[in-house]
Amino acid sequence: MKNIIIIGARGYEKKYGGWETFVTNLINNYNDKNTKFYVPELNHSKHNDNIEIRNGVICPQIYVPKHGSMTMMTFAFLATLYCKKMIKKEKLQNCVMYILGYRVGPLFTLLHKKLNKMGVKVVINPDGIEWKRAKWNFLIKQYLKFSERTMINASDYVVCDSKNIEKYVKESFPKKKDKTTFIAYGAYLNDIKDIDKKTKVFMDKHDIKKREYYIIVGRFVPENNYELIIKEYMKSSTTKDLVIVSNVEKNKFYDKLKEKTGFDKDKRIKFVGPVYDQEILRRLRKNAKAYIHGHSAGGTNPSLLEALSITDVNILYNAPYNEEVGEDACVYFSNEDGSLTKAIEKVEKFKSRDQEAYGEKAKNRIKEEYTWEIVVNKYKKLFKKLLDEKREK
């Protein structure tokens, strides 16, 4: 029996973000009776320290009080400690600990030595270059930079979900060159039917009409280039709406954005909040004129893969992480003045056949590299390889 422990997501089958979606889809597509998964879950209830079991996945509940940006760092560290004790107590064999991100921190150096003595293979997924994200303050950036160095050096293997992140790791950590690989994030190719009743209710509520809007789906953070996109969109001559699907909070970032762009005076700019109903979200993607992707940090973004699998025309910020996914199936823009405006004007002139041609190319990109079947098979081979290495020693 292989035991795969995944740390860093808030849990299994939890509707939060990229890591949670990744964990759920990896496990649900794994289909191997000889593999058992363990996923520690973040829990804010002090009285719940149970172990939940869902679909055969063992989910220890790890209590962490809410304390801002430190919450996930505390959770990752406590989850790692818990799993180390669990492996020892249960005498688990053939263990791979897969840690998502660098949040466990510099103390992982000490934990890794103990885990190795117990025969546990440790794999790190760096996500993006986390310390470069604009949302972090100076101190957290320094902590994350130090965590990156200590955790990569202390790992047995590094998995990057972007070829550009793989290149960065190999160049920055030459000793890990032969212990670093690229395995993409996954996506589904779904045949999305036309607008249903609940999607129509949503669209009517926000006065959105089929093919008469561009859409953004992503976290409401500066590195997703909301300011750039909104300013450029407002300069464009399109009469179509810009529908922004995001967990917008009226905070300092929102207030600064309104002050800098004056988006509240443009009726085309529509913040519709988060959409947790996946059927509505897929249909919103399907019926948009185009999807605009402004992400400038991180690796392969789940929202981008979903867009390529559903939306015909995708307009991407020309970061290397985005270009390696989209290749020639997308339209690109930069942070140069007028770049996105020109891209929008170009898309405005597209006929139905142009839309369809881009849609076919986008779906082919998913078929070539990003289906969950391809991704899961690569993980199976990697975990087998690591456990075979352990047996040989």
β-pair partners for 214 = 242, 290
Residue 86's pLDDT band, with cuts at 50, 70 and 90, is: very high
Class for the domain spanning 2-186+371-388: alpha beta
How far apart CA 208 and CA 58 sit, in angstroms, is: 43
Domains 2-186+371-388 and 197-369 share a fold: yes
Q: Which of 310, 22, 304 is nearest to 189 (CA)?
A: 310
pLDDT given at position 129: 67
- Cα torsion 105, 107, 110, 116: sign: negative
222 has a pLDDT exceeding 60: yes
User: Among 43-47, 126-130, 187-191, 386-390, which stretch is predicted with the lowest mean pLDDT?
Assistant: 126-130
pLDDT given at position 392: 59
The three-point CA angle 227-207-256 to 5° equals: 20
Higher per-residue confidence, 377 vs 46: 377
46 has a pLDDT exceeding 90: no
Residue ranges of domains in the chain? 2-186+371-388, 197-369
* Residues 160/125, Cβ–Cβ less than 8 Å: yes
β-pair partners for 293 = 316
CATH number of 197-369: 3.40.50.2000
261 has a pLDDT exceeding 90: yes
pLDDT given at position 302: 85
Higher per-residue confidence, 393 vs 336: 336
- Cα torsion 57, 63, 69, 72: sign: negative
Residue 268's pLDDT band, with cuts at 50, 70 and 90, is: very high
Mean pLDDT of the chain: 91
How far apart CA 201 and CA 196 sit, in angstroms, is: 9
pLDDT given at position 252: 83
- pLDDT by residue (tens digit) across 371-391? 999 999 999 999 999 998 766
Higher per-residue confidence, 187 vs 15: 187
162 has a pLDDT exceeding 80: yes
Put residue 101 in one of left, alpha, beta given phi > 0 → left and psi -120 to 50 → alpha. left
